[in-house]
């Protein structure tokens, strides 16, 4: 059974990943303490833990805020993400442990179940967890923190992907789930080339969807009525 501190940690992570908390939004320490029945000391401990993991930013005289997302961070995200994901994939094949593969399969089972029930928030969380486990499989203390930071913005930018609005988006979501299954199969047979190929296929799918979120089609304007 989770205590209040663990619940707060999990809730804040989920709310940041699913954009329930906006980028750069201030976190009210007093209000959060009251809501979770915690003193301010454990709340600050949770804040510090989340800051260390890249979810929030703590600055003197500004308090705790959700990590921002601006033009600079988005540009760096799109530049670096595919390189980090590919490196993680290679190392995951080389270094994964049996229990990590079990965890990956169980996470994918929950992700699949969420796609069936159309639970968008759970899809975001389980998709994030799926890729985080691949990071753990890599066993690389330099890459894992970079992956964790990338996954935060990946989830925030692409969260609308998990709320399909038309048949095309529905098909993209199903393809994403199929990619996950293929990752598991390729890792299990230690096929490094297949995993790297999948990384770039999966990235391209994600990139297209994220670009649709960042730059949606414009609204059609009414044609002006000619002057008479």
At residue 218, the pLDDT reads 56
Q: In the chain, what are the domains?
A: 4-66 (1.10.10.10), 71-214 (1.20.120.530)
At residue 213, the pLDDT reads 64
> Tokens representing 150?
């990338």
At residue 228, the pLDDT reads 46
At residue 220, the pLDDT reads 55
Mean pLDDT of the chain: 89
Q: How far apart are CA 77 and CA 15, in angstroms?
A: 20
Below-50 pLDDT ranges, the chain? 221, 227-228
Residue among 83, 105, 104, 91 nearest 192 (CA): 91
Model-wide pTM > 0.95: no
> Tokens representing 5?
């501190």
Dihedral (CA of 127, 128, 129, 130) sign: positive
pLDDT digits (tens, 9 = 90+) for 21-53: 999 999 999 999 999 999 999 999 999 999 999
């Amino acid at each position: 059974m989770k205590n209040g501190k663990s619940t707060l940690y999990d809730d804040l992570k989920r709310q940041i990943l699913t954009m329930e908390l906006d980028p750069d939004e201030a976190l009210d320490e007093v209000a959060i303490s009251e809501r979770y029945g915690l003193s301010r000391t454990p709340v600050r401990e949770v804040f510090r833990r989340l800051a260390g993991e890249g979810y929030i930013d703590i600055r003197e005289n500004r308090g705790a805020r959700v990590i921002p997302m601006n033009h600079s961070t988005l540009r760096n995200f799109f530049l670096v993400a595919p390189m980090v994901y590919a490196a993680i994939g290679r190392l995951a094949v080389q270094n994964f442990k049996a229990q990590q593969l079990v965890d990956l399969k169980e996470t994918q089972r929950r992700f699949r179940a969420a796609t069936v029930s159309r639970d968008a928030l759970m899809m975001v969380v389980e998709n994030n967890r799926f890729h985080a486990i691949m990071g753990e499989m890599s066993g690389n203390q330099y890459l894992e923190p970079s992956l964790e930071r990338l996954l935060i913005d990946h989830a925030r930018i692409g969260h609308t992907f998990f709320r399909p609005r038309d048949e095309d988006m529905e098909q993209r979501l199903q393809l994403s789930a199929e990619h996950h299954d293929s990752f598991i199969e390729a890792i299990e047979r230690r096929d490094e080339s297949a995993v790297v190929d999948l990384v770039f296929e999966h990235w391209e799918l994600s990139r297209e969807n994220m670009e649709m979120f960042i730059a949606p089609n414009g609204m059609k304007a009414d044609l002006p009525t000619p002057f008479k």
